[in-house]
Amino acid sequence: MDAYNEEEQNEAWVVALEENLALPAQALVVGEFVTVLGFEREALGEVLAKCRRGSRVYRINATALEWTGDVVPAGSDWLEAYRAWLRRA
């Protein structure tokens, strides 16, 4: 996919995560279990994870997701790639 500016690049990450990460997936956010339902881009460009905890749905920065040792979803390397892309200088 061609992505010429940061907005297009962030949108490409949303598509890549949606297509490659096995969803729904269990994750930890600040020590609490959530179910990751999908991803979206917020107005400022950050990639958000749409997560459910109980009956509520939250949108949090995708980098806040943590996988537990025995529950790592297929495609989780795409989230690691996104984190590495964010660290670029």
Q: Determine the structural domain holding residue 61 and report its residue range.
A: 6-86
pLDDT at 1: 58
For range 31-37, the mean pLDDT:
94
Burial tier of 84 (Cβ tally within 10 Å: 0-12, 13-18, 19+)? exposed
Domain assignment of residue 65, yes or no: yes
Examine residue 1 and state whether it is found in any structural domain, yes or no.
no
80/9: higher pLDDT = 80
Q: What is the pTM of this model?
A: 0.86
Structure-model confidence comparison of residues 25 and 89, the more confident one:
25
**Residue 43 domain flag:** yes
Structural domain includes residue 54: yes
How many folded domains does the chain comprise? 1
Q: What is the CATH number of the domain that holds 14?
A: 2.30.30
Identity of the residue numbered 78: W
Confidence of residue 5 (pLDDT cuts 50, 70, 90): confident
Q: Do the domain assignments include residue 76?
A: yes
Vertex 39: Cα angle to 36 and 40 (nearest 5): 145
